[in-house]
Structure 1
Amino acid sequence: MAVTDMTERYQHIYDEMKQSFKWSFVDKKVLMHAAMTFAGDNIPFDAPRFKDLADRIAKDASFFSPLKQDKRVTVAAVLESKYEDPFRHYQYMKKIYDLLIQKKFKRGSASYSTALVILSAASRSISLDQHVDRTMAIHKGMKKEHPFITSEHDYPLASLLADQVDDPAVLMTRIEEIYHRLSKAGFRKGNDLQFLSHILSLDTDHEPAELVRRTAAAKDEWKKNGMKHKGVHYPITGLLALAGGDSLLFEIIAETAADLNRRKSFRWEKDWNSLVAANFTMKTTLDPDESLTVSMYTSLNTILEAQNAAMVAAASAGAVAATSSNN
């Protein structure tokens, strides 16, 4: 499927979702994230079926659960797009969530995202219990190195890393080297840079210096094509660096982002549009056997889910703060 076709699907699915949830007051970014999930993977979309799944999840959830609110839409999108029996896998996800809580993870949206990541990304080469323990160990390592920028929103990526490494201590040493090299290369310190360094650490075939060189080059190509490069773009820049995309890839991303920026539904979401454009371009242009390792390519959705979950949570928090301020 061409990138332009995927963009049209994205618009169509978003419009259907907006209509389905028009009386539910779901955050716009949540619907865009859900629409991207279906469009990016070329998954058939059935609006009534999707709405029914989201409603079933909300009905099943406890009174104060985030699944009563916008999170039900995000969870429904991931489950509906990946599994033939999404509600049964929702039950599996809940069991993983309960185990996370038993292991002292914080209750809430981030732990539900983590449960989704573990559900879809776990290799089964280690037990579920081991995977959760390793996730907590990696998260504690993050917090030890960066106590002020590490939060529960880093759980999902920690769970992805837990499936890739045997020794969290060795991993954290590699992450820290990449983090400091990126900082010296002009990337701004903070949670976005931490996220980027974690993504790059998934590539164990190249030295940190080479990974940082590629990432700096990807950043330059991004800006060269007229797109603003902010912290929110760091994770996708890392994926593009790992993919080793040429200048044509960035031209397609810029053209796709410009297309989305012109559309009435998305014109005020330029940062998000460039992420969607990069996502679609990578999925339609890159050959996983040639550009990314197969394991890394299959991790693309998981990484984007982790980032998007954090972005949606931040957007929701900002909305709540604004409402409280106005009140």
Structure 2
Amino acid sequence: MRESLKIKVDNMLELYLDIEKQFKWEHSLLKHFAALTYIQKDRKFDKEKIQNMIKFIKSKTGIFSYYRGTSSFIIAMLLCSEYENPEDEFSRMMDNEDKLKKAGFKNSMYLPIANYALLITSEGDFVDSKVKQAYELYCEMKKNHPWLTSGDDYALSILLSKYNKSVSTIEEYYQSLNNLGFGKGNGLQLLSHILSFSNEDVKVITERCKKGYDRLKENKLKIYSDFYASLGLVSLLDKEGTIAEDLVEVALYLNKLKKYKWLGKGMNVLIASALVSQEYINDNKNNNELIQTTLSISIEAIIAAQTSATIAAITASTAAASAAN
């Protein structure tokens, strides 16, 4: 494994252990996401700033708001890692919340992350048109896959809206991936959305994605559809085939670490994909390619959405098990 990536992983583990002590009552997966976010941005983790931001969010939202609970930590952490004045940015998010709902987006646990995605990809007067375009894209997606498309696609529809990609093009990725052996489902839909950031030929990038999947499988890192997003992040950048090797090495290293092993291979591959993708983007920032700039912004929104969905699934299954007993 490249030394720079090993240092980054070791620093992430050290930060996680620190966050674990400071936020004992938060879900451990949230703390892993926080450690990843701050290492990616090379920012100093500030417990007091985040705690104050959580209090601010609670003061501006109702008791049943989806911005509370799990989302309050995620949003507070993301805003504090990105902005000097996170309170001002959250106020902007509240303004944008009304615009999202007016356009047709439903109030749900997925809306806070979608709203954050809107915040980091929009400027002032362009928000209204972006929201309208994103909802139109979401509706088209739902027409194609009514049983797969739901609130967890809100953030991606916002990220994709700037590309003016047609749903028929996104569907080409979906069908091509399915023909290569990827099982149909929500995970495949997310992967096809991520790959549609690219301007490359559909066949070229989907075959690259399949090679990445096979490489993981060869190294006993087979992932299921919930974590197909990791393949998308790497495939968008890996024209030379070197990033896939980094992905394997980092994921294997994470699997050996006590605090990461329990997360499972899929989540570790997802974390590894974020680390190696960002490393590649940082190493090639002089290229100034649009895909790299956009993907750098999109990575944290994608991982945030995946983290929220995973925690929601764990919470739901735990509640169901308790009810059954």
Could you tell me which residue of structure 2 aligns to residue 180 of structure 1? Answer: 175
Alignment-mate amino acid for residue 76 of structure 1: A
CA drift of 1:291 comes to 7.9
Aligned: 1:105 with 2:108: no
Contact 1:53 1:87 in 2 (8 A): yes
Contact 1:110 1:155 in 2 (8 A): yes
Alignment-mate amino acid for residue 183 of structure 1: N
Residue deviations 1:238-258 (CA, integer Å, cap 9, x gap): 221121254543333233223
Cα separation, partners in 2 of 1:47 and 1:29, compared to 1, 3 Å: same
Alignment-mate amino acid for residue 57 of structure 1: I
Could you tell me which residue of structure 2 aligns to residue 321 of structure 1? Answer: 317
Aligned: 1:192 with 2:187: yes
Listed as ranges, the matches of 1:119-134 within 5 Å are 119-122=119-122, 127-134=126-133
C-alpha distance in structure 1 between counterparts of 2:301 and 2:75, whole Å? 10
Q: How many residue pairs were aligned?
A: 319
C-alpha distance in structure 1 between counterparts of 2:203 and 2:309, whole Å? 33
Residue deviations 1:183-223 (CA, integer Å, cap 9, x gap): 1011111111111111111112x221222222222222222
Could you tell me which residue of structure 1 aligns to residue 274 of structure 2? Answer: 279
Contact 2:213 2:222 in 1 (8 A): no
Aligned-residue sequence identity (percent) comes to: 25
More deviation, 144-153/93-102: 93-102
The CA RMSD over aligned residues, in Å, is 2.3
2:20 maps to which of 14, 18, 21: 18
Contact 2:30 2:307 in 1 (8 A): no
Listed as ranges, the matches of 1:225-304 within 5 Å are 225-244=219-238, 246-270=240-264, 271-286=266-281, 287-289=283-285, 293-304=289-300
CA drift of 1:99 comes to 1.3
SS in structure 2 at match of 1:64: coil
Could you tell me which residue of structure 2 aligns to residue 68 of structure 1? Answer: 68
Normalised by the length of structure 2, the TM-score is: 0.90
Q: Which structure 1 segments of 5+ residues have no match?
A: none
CA drift of 1:61 comes to 2.0
CA drift of 1:42 comes to 1.3
More deviation, 277-286/108-117: 277-286
CA drift of 1:26 comes to 2.0
Cα separation, partners in 2 of 1:303 and 1:46, compared to 1, 3 Å: closer
Contact 2:74 2:304 in 1 (8 A): no
Contact 2:278 2:296 in 1 (8 A): no
Aligned: 1:2 with 2:4: yes
C-alpha distance in structure 2 between counterparts of 1:30 and 1:136, whole Å? 28
CA drift of 1:322 comes to 1.8
SS in structure 1 at match of 2:67: helix
C-alpha distance in structure 2 between counterparts of 1:2 and 1:57, whole Å? 36
Alignment-mate amino acid for residue 100 of structure 2: L
Could you tell me which residue of structure 1 aligns to residue 50 of structure 2? Answer: 50
More deviation, 227-236/141-150: 227-236
CA drift of 1:265 comes to 1.9
Alignment-mate amino acid for residue 120 of structure 1: I
SS in structure 2 at match of 1:38: helix
CA drift of 1:317 comes to 3.3
Aligned: 1:157 with 2:156: yes
Residue deviations 1:97-145 (CA, integer Å, cap 9, x gap): 1211222211132111111111101266x72111111111010011000
Alignment-mate amino acid for residue 58 of structure 2: A
C-alpha distance in structure 1 between counterparts of 2:243 and 2:104, whole Å? 42
Contact 1:288 1:297 in 2 (8 A): no
C-alpha distance in structure 2 between counterparts of 1:122 and 1:97, whole Å? 13
Alignment-mate amino acid for residue 143 of structure 2: K
Contact 1:34 1:73 in 2 (8 A): no
C-alpha distance in structure 2 between counterparts of 1:84 and 1:298, whole Å? 21
Normalised by the length of structure 1, the TM-score is: 0.89
Q: Which structure 2 segments of 5+ residues have no match?
A: none
CA drift of 1:179 comes to 0.9
